[in-house]
Amino acid sequence: MFKCPFCSREGPPIVQKQVSGAGWVVFVLLLLFCLPLCWLPFVVSGLKEEKRKCVSCGSSLS
């Protein structure tokens, strides 16, 4: 069972998908050189990372 190290709440964390740092780099490059494709990092799962947050206290757990 998952347990939050900050508030000791037991239960599954919130998982959010976010564009990673590498994804933003690709986004800027596409914006500069290939504007019609600048949305690609937002749909390519390899350029995203999962963020885990405690449901109770909101602390980042990743």
Given the rule CB under 5 A, which residues bind Zn ion? 4, 6-7, 9, 54, 56-57
Q: Exposed, middle or buried: residue 40 (CB in 10 Å: 0-12, 13-18, 19+)?
A: middle
Number of neighbours of residue 3 by Cβ within 10 angstroms: 10
Is residue 31 helix, strand or coil? Answer: helix
Least separation in angstroms between residue 18's CB and Zn ion is 19
Nearer to Zn ion, 44 or 55 (CB): 55
Q: Which is nearer to Zn ion, 22 or 55 (CB)?
A: 55
CB of 51 to Zn ion, least distance (A): 14
